[in-house]
Amino acid sequence: MKPKNTKDRETTHEENMEKALRYGIKYIDLKIDFAFKFVFGMHGREDLLLLLIDSILPDKHIVSVTLGPQEQMPDNPDKRRSIYDINCTTESGAHITVEMQCAKQSDFNNRMVYYSSYTLRNTLKRGEEGFEYPELYVIGILDFLLSGVKENPEVVNHYSLRNDRDDGIMLTDTLHYVTIELPKFNKQISELDGQLDNMLYLFCNLGRMKEIPAYFKDKNLDKLFETTMFANMTPELQDRYFREFMYEMDQKSRMRTARQDGIAEGKAEGEARGRAEGRAEGLADTARAMKARGMDTALIADITGLTQDQIAEL
């Protein structure tokens, strides 16, 4: 057995900072599941969670949130359990579940309904009469376009139970589903207008920032920037972030490859060619993303298998 302090067993803060420099990481990417929970889902950071929720639901005028359990167990052990990214209640008793989903999920709309059913089931107590539920919001922040619903250009969409023939009549004002599709958000800093725009911009761009833009220095976001700075994390947390960071990069590359594979039709030769082209495009997309982060060309070549000349042409 190797000693505990060998470098292949654990890394130091200095080693992680050197790696972060190579990958162009100064602030962690909020779209990565671990980073999202680390920033918004930990006790002591309820103010950051409130900032996020208030930007999404400004009309509710929420003044405080209390974190609740992230895991809900089924009554029947044969059924699936439910694990939330963030589960909280407001001072008025409303329940809010927030999910950050980076990888595309074709049935995410049904997943939101599933989550709401757990909360509703656990709200009513034995012996209580009637079905007076507190308000429930399920918020999905997505790094993909939601499938299964009618497409529209809005970044943020609100859904509830309404009459099919008259959408002005609600069946109940208890259930609310909110989707945020980040790929639709393409505003530049000069176009930002309000707290929601500020938060969406950070979700889309924080992981690529090398410094805090002057625009954000008077927006009451100092704690968020301090919390998301990679250098402020312990080596153990840095290691965990790196694992999820590399996993997400690999997943996105695989998805691009699979998408290209699916396009190829016809004979076996054409299908094989389509798969090869899809893989090449996936690697090229990954290399472009790495170049955008300022990573060393030799390191990109080592990870993707592309030559340095191919990378230079991207």
- pLDDT tier for residue 64 given thresholds of 50, 70 and 90: very high
pLDDT confidence of residue 2: 40
- pLDDT tier for residue 79 given thresholds of 50, 70 and 90: very low
Q: Where are the beta strands (DSSP E) in 61-155?
A: 65-67, 71-72, 82-83, 86-90, 95-101, 136-142
Per-residue pLDDT, averaged over 284-312, amounts to: 76
How many CB atoms within 10 Å of residue 205?
A: 16
State the Cα angle at 69 between 64 and 70, rounded to 5°.
Answer: 105
Q: Rounded mean pLDDT of the chain?
A: 84
pLDDT confidence of residue 292: 77
Answer yes or no: is pLDDT of 4 > 60: no
Answer yes or no: is pLDDT of 74 > 60: no
Answer yes or no: is pLDDT of 234 > 90: yes
How many CB atoms within 10 Å of residue 281?
A: 15
CA distance 76 to 198: 43
CA distance 42 to 134: 24
Angle, in degrees to the nearest 10, between helices 13-23 and 235-263: 30
Per-residue pLDDT, averaged over 61-72, amounts to: 84
Query: pTM, whole model, 2 decimals?
Result: 0.74
- Which of the two residues, 314 and 231, has the higher pLDDT score? 231
Among 36-40, 111-115, 138-142, 152-156, which stretch is predicted with the lowest mean pLDDT? 111-115
Most confident listed range (128-137, 166-175, 271-280): 166-175
Write the pLDDT tens digit of every residue in 129-162: 667 788 999 999 999 999 888 889 999 999 999 8
Under DSSP, the state recorded for 125 is: P
- Of 310, 304, 261, the closest CA to residue 286 belongs to 304
Angle, in degrees to the nearest 10, between helices 46-56 and 195-205: 110
Answer yes or no: is pLDDT of 61 > 80: yes
CA distance 23 to 286: 12
CA distance 88 to 98: 9
pLDDT confidence of residue 125: 64
Distance (Å) of CA 30 to CA 40, 186, 302? 9, 17, 27
- Domain edges within the chain: 28-228, 235-313
Structure tokens at 94: 């409303």
- pLDDT tier for residue 63 given thresholds of 50, 70 and 90: very high
Composition of the chain by helix, strand, coil, percent to 5: 50, 15, 35
Percent pLDDT > 70 in the chain is 81
Answer yes or no: is pLDDT of 24 > 60: yes
CA dihedral 236, 241, 247, 253 (to 10 degrees): -150
